[in-house]
A and B are shown apart, each in its own frame.
Chain A
């Protein structure tokens, strides 16, 4: 009986298997790279109705985060300032800036603009899914800074997403909070540097000596122990 399959087909199954395997691995690798929050979310930088610059307001003018995000240490939700917060200053400052026209339309009754009294539609940048209950106050009051999640907002001309906010990323910190803990006084100080903090002298004693720590990691561990910080990893912590 003649051979139905020629000789070259002997290795065909292996070749197919290798190709399929490579393709599969490629898809997985591609998905991990392109379709996970690390790539999709980090760096998201939409343009806003008013090109508000955090750099000007924080770095140059020295406003505290809580001037605008006033309930961030009280509520789970960090509030975006109401138009009247902006208007407090900008009815006197930068009165002619074209960038602020949308604000004036909404706040200045004299303009009689149809948008008067309507809210400004800020584009949302940091977004967790609906089934995640993240609480700002729980973190800020326990020594986790804005910076840990939002990056150096004080230096951002246009705000972008700095961290990926994925669940794995949340858990990383919940498992080792010492890497992010800082004294409560420094939570809103985005320029905080733990090295400098430890070296700082108060009444002739450096903070390092006073707290009996040497490295920045020790500082985190010390705070964690002193404040009994025990972040949860169970589901109901964020999902309910």
Chain B
């Protein structure tokens, strides 16, 4: 028995690109090869229970025999169980049983609301999609996609707590009414940084009714931007107008938006956003990124400069100098000079954006550079806008006021100040000084327990409200469902109750015969804005936004004194710095109980369920940590003691800042600045007795089942003076301890040549100019010399008809790597659309993740060459690669729907077969779980249900291994989120992407109604000819979940038979289009478009950019 292994030919001798997904791969460890060669890692596919006791074939047969015999006694299956149909008593308007209804709503957030369309089945919101008719094109990110899960989260707060103990709503209402009655009460209100016109109006009214009221806003990671831009003001970018962008540590495409992001990606595509033009670099924008960590925006950048966070101010100073015409100085002078020249050449079409968490000085400098370039102003690429959130105090002010001018405090902020406020603020102690503190939140977090009262908050999908997007478009927040739990209250309901005569807290539907209070308030705000016409209100509810509404223009704050101070600032230090990063999965910690986000791998580190400390390879080597992370093969042990999979551990290191020490597992972070340690925030909120490291269980109640025992809390290191980064007291020290990590970066690794391809708009000595490079995209890697494939399988039946017989629809997809940044929005959207379960950290570490979309993230770099053009190698004969211009290429891979699918031929039961319209379908009910198909899939796109993840909660310790004795979770709130049109898969079944076949079926069936319409028009159905146009769905009218979610418009989907009318077909027609593993002859329906980088030829290292074509082993 031997498995035929495809022998990939050697790489071309002049190939200088080094690419890898993980350290293990870079060092080619044995464990990595194991991942590559096996479909599932060793152990994942074998029967073994957790205590490693073997279940032999013999005992298996014994048990099966006994259970079969026992089954005979009961004969339970012989009678058909009676089931019932329960129609509504009174039919609600618009609801058609079995059909979804769609509502426009939005998700309020600190950087501006995300406009959404909510899919609702019989009153249950199940799926979120961006509102495409909204003037602001932002798409969705993974947080917006996952927010629907919070509504149904089993760990969501349901009861009113008093002093952390369950209390009742009635008792709270009494205390609340007493508070509302005292008009001289010293109340402090703490809101989030999101902007709601209704709230702003109520705040004004509260201010005049409660004469001693004070108002604050707080979010943990809010930064210092507002100090520079002005109180209540914000800088908003219009990327459609920006030709050149310099980002000073601003992850504007990812975690730190500064304006609608889709237009940025539209301008990354050389053929234009609809693939209609001839490819040209002229319309493309160019992004310069200066940053410390490797952010998603940094991955998109054409030129990237790695600096320590403390050096950022110096870089900004030099940029200002260079833009003013003086030569820059310092280490990066050449880089800055060339860049500044390019910025100046673009004039007002060049913008500088600074990260919201960057030091205040950077913001002042950025404002000065923008002023110099002339890019700020009405109808220009950057605008200063005036938000409704004016005159709100911050957390430092609140801490001072507590116990003094503020005796009662109400928390509405989505952050968790007791846990996430700067450590030296000692906010918990200050809070104890308040007479009453009332916390409204979805989770019973640290602040909920520290407050006198905790009241469960209504989710935004359960409450009436309104919000502003980043440019200030008035956008509605509509309830889709009444609050799931009776004790919930929403922000507007509470504020309006305080203003009412009797202080009675009315929530949900409010009183009988009267509109609910929150509705009344929103309606009033809206009529102040747009008049009291019913028609306008209905349009708002239907469209989701008020047309032509926007923020007033603000005044740019050019504070000369502050600028002079910023120009003189010299905060550089030679110490190693720790960066408190915003987490890509749980943001500031607020999403810690969201299973989808926890399980989605971090976009760069690919770690799920935990946070780690990332250190650049060179620094790690200097500190002696590299060998700790990558246990290299030694002559005596072929298999390293540590590696990927369930045995992967991270070695704990200790980090101290000003005497406070935390321990975090260390991993290698490629592309980040040297001498930095990146630790993301928000983890480690609570532990229980099962914690691996035996940490204190004092905060166990602060987190639910999902968030417990995850990660390490870095907030204690953070202080008011150092909210973003801090110098370490000493170099990170080893502790000798280890901690299990679940990393998916090596899971499902693919072999192959030229998986992700990249070209540059800049002419290259060897590769030619842009046009030449484009023409060669299809010939990258193996495809240059592989002979054309001859298929052994016939594509016709015996009569000679094509097996792909559908004349109406043939589905296809393209994914544009030029605009994909790897943000995970598609991955989470797919999870919510297709009922994909989470599997938990333990299972994930074994390689059993269920995500249908695998977000591959490749790092690539060029081998340095000497003067003769030979590659440079080190003393161990390993290539030395350029660390300055490292590239990151994400590549989402799901099932590519091969026309000659290798999986189909090996299925013994025909459970995976081809459909007439070109899908590689899965019949779950037919699958018997041989896993042959997954073995034979060259793209490793298939996922297997090793356990019944849907019915048996994998987060309950050991639950999966208890078999029938395990705890079943049927009928919990999380099941309400399920898409009724997709089968919920059970144990032993293979699953994978099928292009959202339920949506395709729905659209084609809907189209069939056209026949009825045509017949009605002619009056006789037998006299009506039905043509292709009656039965074929309109061009590009169906969207799949991942495509819909994508903020970058990177995914095109459509009908191949629509020809050039379809965006997808046009995209497949351009030169950048290539098939993944084309040379093995699977003829995939999903193709990829090569990534284009648009470097500036004058920049140092420009010749190294745009060459990251990924070849794997």
Contact = CB atoms under 8 A, between A and B. Distances in A.
Interface of A: 35, 40-41, 44, 46, 71, 73-77, 79-85, 106-107, 117-124, 127, 129-131, 133, 135, 137-138, 141-143, 183-185, 207, 210-211, 223, 226-228, 230, 232, 234-237, 239-240
A36 to B, nearest CB: 13
A124 B84 contact: yes
Given A185-B1020, A239-B983, A119 B86 contact: yes
Contacts of A143: 1021
Given A76-B99, A236-B994, 13 more contacts: A41-B80, A71-B97, A73-B1009, A84-B91, A117-B89, A121-B85, A123-B85, A135-B1005, A141-B1008, A185-B1020, A226-B1022, A232-B915, A235-B923
Contacts of A183: 1020-1022
B6 interface: no
Interface in B40-90: 78, 80, 82-90
Interface string B542-557: 0000000000000000
Given A183-B1022, A227-B1026, A240 B1005 contact: no
Contact of A235 (B84, B89, B806, B926): B926
Nearest to B923: A235
Given A75-B98, A85-B91, A133-B1001, A141 B1012 contact: yes
B913 interface: yes
Contacts of A44: 80
Contacts of A121: 84-86
Contacts of A131: 924-925, 983
B105 to A, nearest CB: 24
B1026 A226 contact: yes
B90 A82 contact: yes
B34 interface: no
A230 B97 CA distance: 27
A73 B1020 CA distance: 18
Contact of B998 (A74, A75, A133): A133
A130 B87 CA distance: 19
9 contacts: A82-B90, A119-B86, A123-B84, A129-B925, A185-B1021, A228-B1026, A236-B915, A236-B919, A240-B982
B916 interface: yes
A83 B806 CA distance: 43
Q: Which 4 A-B pairs have the closest CB atoms?
A: A77-B98, A236-B921, A184-B1021, A235-B923
Contacts of B1025: 226
B304 interface: no
Nearest to A85: B91
Question: Of A75, A77, A210, A240, which is in contact with the most chain B CB atoms at under 10 Å from its CB?
Answer: A240
B84 A232 contact: no
Contacts of A77: 97-99
A237 B80 CA distance: 26
B195 to A, nearest CB: 40
Contacts of B922: 235-236
A46 B1008 CA distance: 34
Interface in B792-813: 805-806
A75 B96 contact: yes
Interface in B1001-1040: 1001, 1005, 1008-1009, 1011-1012, 1015, 1020-1022, 1024-1026, 1031
B983 A130 contact: yes
B925 A207 contact: no
Interface string B1054-1077: 000000000000000000000000
Given A183-B1021, A236-B919, A84 B1011 contact: no
Size category, B interface? 35 or more
A183 B915 CA distance: 28
B1102 to A, nearest CB: 49
B806 to A, nearest CB: 8
B214 interface: no
Given A137-B1005, A141-B1011, A226-B1026, A236 B85 contact: no
Nearest to A46: B82
Contact of B1031 (A81, A122, A228): A228
Given A74-B96, A75-B96, A77-B97, A240 B921 contact: yes
Nearest to B1005: A138
Nearest to B1006: A137
Contact of B89 (A40, A79, A83, A237): A83
B997 interface: yes
A65 B1025 CA distance: 27
Nearest to B1031: A228
B983 A240 contact: yes
B846 interface: no
Nearest to A34: B78
A162 B911 CA distance: 30
B363 interface: no
B1001 to A, nearest CB: 7
B468 interface: no
Contact of B85 (A80, A83, A107, A237): A80
Contacts of B994: 236, 240
Contact of A122 (B87, B915, B924, B1026): B87
A234 B89 contact: no
A124 B85 contact: yes
A44 B82 CA distance: 11
B651 interface: no
Contacts of A129: 925
A210 B1020 CA distance: 12
A83 B1026 contact: no
Nearest to B82: A123
Contacts of B916: 232, 234
Contacts of A119: 86-89
Question: A83, A127, A133, A227 — which one has the most chain B CB atoms within 10 A of its CB?
Answer: A227
A44 B97 CA distance: 25
B1008 A138 contact: yes
A184 B1012 contact: yes
B267 interface: no
A234 B99 CA distance: 24
B923 A239 contact: yes
B1040 to A, nearest CB: 13
B1085 interface: no
